[in-house]
Structure 1
């Protein structure tokens, strides 16, 4: 079938979906609301793309594919007649490869929506492809603020976090405690550079000072020279703007060099549960980080985690939980709108709150960010760890209304009048985030 024929069929499906949308919104909870006739190709095809075997694969990778399949499984219980297919690919942390895969998915393979992505540089390339094709992308662990800032798109939705979420609260908290000089060690690509840029901006506003930064290649294994530069700076805080295997290796070498006894405080600006598992609590103990989700929060999250563990052999990370949530919310919107055409589905996604094991009552903001709570967590001392994967103490909750850069400060071109979308989405007003006890 040609691209033109598929587009014509999709436009017809869009028109039928708009006529039926109101009735379907009321009926979706009680009965299957969509039929194959309303779907392009008679099926909803979801593409999950991530680093599947490389340095960023542990927090997402094949676990994200498992999360996507669980979302499809749970959705089928609500709408068994709606066909869903999950396809996946490894972008190998290469922006050109990632964009090529996604373009082929859209042009040839009939993929309706892309999920995960992870790598910030790949995400910026995919954003452009998705915009050109008017297709949705559901970003998980993409930290660069560019995705929902200067490079925002109405088809790009960020489900997990960005650099501002991750650094603003911890920096203000530590500076207030007197830890006011910082040195940064970051990955040398879009994520690390954006995170350090955001950190320096927030640090200056909080009254702190940056004493320097150094960037390492993504594939390096020897971090000695970077750590020595951090030590020589004399900064009270050494902040690591890397994640996955690079963070694990960095912290192991920090420990091996005995740098923890030099009076400098290490801060992981983005640390995943799998990172702690890989380095072990003896090395990670005491490190604080901000996370959007933790499997051991409550009975509901623990139940989901057990299902996931049976399939993947590891507890789910926050990015994997975000993949599950974003795909489930997307599928519910397809059922509600009666079509997989981007416009009606996006409208349905924005019209209803996200309500699942990942987030309750969360809504999409005008710049494409899902607004939800975060948790400041601390890695337990090894003696306090009762079993594998039970690594965090939740210290404080950062409420959704306080966790995000105010919409009035957004550089997203889609945000024309901050007061309107801000109020409608119920997001943070002017001022910095506040942290409240859990």
Structure 2
């Protein structure tokens, strides 16, 4: 382990925390309670602080470093682009931007023909909603309660979880329950029954709201922060049928689920469905430079051939972000990174988490695909009562003490390492999680 580096009597880690607590206002936090983990550097699936303490990153930060930390091909592409042209207005034509759009569309269905670039996932959702409303001339957007779509005006109101409630300033949003058999809202006892009843619920809400008033159905293909809720077979195809029946635009939010996370280029590839609009961000370039966007079907794009699209962003298609996209997608193609995510999920994470669930009494359910898994912790397996927040805090602390950086949400530990994680790293992470759960269970 490297010796702590001191500057003016403070270690760099101590200085980092001191500056952070003095000047940085943190998201989704009561500021007096923030206790940030210092991250000074990273490589692949590992990060470390200034003193050299290392952590196996099973969070991918905010589930976005799909290509891992500091991939040399992406870092070099950003450096080269900065030397050539660091920024340019979105109204210009730029070769790197065009290549980025072509690279993304190369992995999308043929009906998706254009890309509107944004700065991140939230404004991608904002603009997808805008496109749907202008295309249909309708207003309402139907989304799931168990969802997260971003922290901007319409995106946060489309979100279903608690973060929506103090931010409800946008109009025209309606929520429904999606399929979640472990905590079914439909008294279902089988997956097929849960799917059928969830689809019936969705259609009835559309009918009761007035189909002619509904512009879009907006869903995360696989709800992420809400619990990695992989939709049952037939659900998304059924949603597509409902959308088509009533002339509604189907928007699939792939901000977290896209670009390898589920072991597919797009999560919807596994569900026999093609949306009208797709939002993306995070994994498209692993967040090395902020970027997001909307994939637009040819039919919706044609709406604006002679009609002005009333939206734009100063940094839309920013050259540094576009260079990162081109390099990241190229590396994912050449190095089989999406295939690696699928294999690690199938051969290591899936079986390993199933075994962990058998041993650990706190585990109620594990679910997921690729490198996108959730471990739901319960106080009682029979009643499925979630564990208390203090238990989750103890699990997180026990993981960090062992050098495992987890993603914790509500009563769940999300197992979401980078798509480049090796089988040995995945096994190591599962072993560390197993140890942490054992410690916490013993202390209860």
How does the TM-score come out when normalised to structure 1? 0.33
- Structure with higher RCO (Cα < 8 A, 6+ apart): 2
